[in-house]
A and B are shown apart, each in its own frame.
Chain A
């Protein structure tokens, strides 16, 4: 995994400065946790790294590449949403396979990897339900 580097990243929403000149390096293999009161810019910083928010000034690097203005789909970053952000019109299988399909992986490979993932979280057998009727998601496990 390449390192992630933020240089003087600033983001304002109107008069509120959400992130103010943040410089930060996350090393390869490092696990980093943001901790702070609500409104201090944790989410905005993460959203800048994921590419959903473009900072007003400053730069973001993944490895040696400047991704400050790269669209989110080109950054290859995994992002877990607070509200899960599962697609209600797709089955569990389709939800997991969506990203792999976009990457045009061969069908068999997609199948193997989806089953691997389902096995990992012990959800095998629930592939064909939609998330609205999925007991596990409903119980917020």
Chain B
């Protein structure tokens, strides 16, 4: 009996802890986003309202509320993310096919090459990129930011797509070739439909990465290109309410896309990396 009792308490504590870790910050975000007045030592806000939400969504304009309309940044974020995702996938799909199928020397090095912008400290990379981009006239432009996003996103694009192609048995391609399909027809009618779930997952990772990309946009884009994370950065620290509104807005697409990913993801997509 004693042991059972112990276990239940232990489980309850564990669940509470997990719930606290996950929902603690989230509920704090929600609370802050509706707090008008919240001073120490009060546990809950003294005054709540949707003023910051209204202002952020452009429904009202009140100089007393420190928030601006987020629509421009939202639009910039979406446009940049969509273009970056499109270009990343156009580059990634052929590269991934080559890495998955062709006998390339130094294949692992190629894969690691895409990992580089992720493993090195981001700041020095982009600080050094800034003078180069300035020389090319790309600093502070949307094109420059898109290019930086592609650099960061290629990792997910190439790695996950490579696994998606690797998960398809080669005999399925050979069977198509033997009944008369050219390499091109085989790619479009056999490989692409079969790899599609994996490629979609890859594209979703790329899209989310681009939507939430911070460091590169900060060094290359500011002050002329403002995406949602940039707006969040400038609001965080002193303006908890507006920052919380932005954080929640940024969470929504990521959460939606993650739910979508969860539905189409199969572990093989990552299991074949580096094989």
In the complex, A72→B177 CA distance in Å?
6
Chain B residues closer than 8 Å to A73, beta-carbon distance:
177-182
Return 19 A-B CB contacts under 8 Å, by A number.
A50-B178, A51-B177, A52-B177, A71-B177, A71-B182, A73-B179, A75-B178, A78-B178, A79-B175, A81-B174, A85-B174, A86-B175, A87-B172, A87-B175, A87-B190, A98-B179, A99-B180, A99-B181, A102-B185
A129 CB–B CB distance under 8 Å: no
Q: Which of A73, A77, A88 has the most CB of B within 10 A?
A: A73
Size category of the binding interface on chain B: 10 to 19
**How far apart are the CA atoms of A102 and B171 in the complex, in Å?**
18
Check: B112 CB closer than 8 A to any chain A CB: no
Contacts of B172 in A (CB 8 A): 85, 87
Alpha-carbon distance between A7 and B161 when the two chains are bound, in angstroms: 41
Whether A29 sits at the interface, judged by CB under 8 Å, is no
**Closest 4 CB pairs between A and B?**
A99-B179, A85-B175, A85-B171, A72-B177
Question: Quick check: is A89 within 8 A (CB to CB) of the other chain?
Answer: yes
Which of A50, A51, A79, A85 lies at the interface centre, i.e. has the most chain B CB atoms within 10 A of its CB?
A: A85
Residue of B169, B180, B181 contacting most chain A CB atoms (<10 Å): B180
CA distance A77 to B169 in the complex (A): 20
Given A89-B193, A89-B194: A81 in contact with B177 (beta carbons within 8 A): no
Query: A residues engaging B (CB < 8 A)?
Result: 50-52, 71-73, 75-79, 81-83, 85-89, 98-99, 102-103
In the assembled complex, the Cα of A83 lies from the Cα of B174 at a distance in Å of 12
Name the distance in Å between A9's Cβ and chain B's nearest Cβ: 19
The listed residue (B169, B174, B179, B193) touching A102 by CB distance below 8 A is: B179
Nearest-CB distance from B147 to chain A (Å)? 35
Contacts of B185 in A (CB 8 A): 102
For chain B residues 181-207, which have a beta carbon within 8 Å of chain A? Answer: 181-183, 185, 189-190, 193-194
- If A88-B194, A89-B194 touch, whether A71 touches B174 (CB-CB below 8 Å) is no
CB–CB A72/B178 < 8 A:
yes
Q: Is B176 an interface residue (CB 8 A)?
A: yes
CB distance from B170 to the nearest CB of A (A): 9
CA of A51 to CA of B172 in the docked complex: distance in angstroms?
15
Residues A72 and B190 in contact, CB atoms below 8 Å apart: no
CB distance from A85 to the nearest CB of B (A): 4
Chain B residues whose CB sits within 8 angstroms of the CB of A86 once the complex forms: 175
B172 nearest CB neighbor, chain A only: A85
CB-nearest residue of chain A relative to B194? A89
B6-26 near A? 1/0 per residue, CB < 8 Å: 000000000000000000000
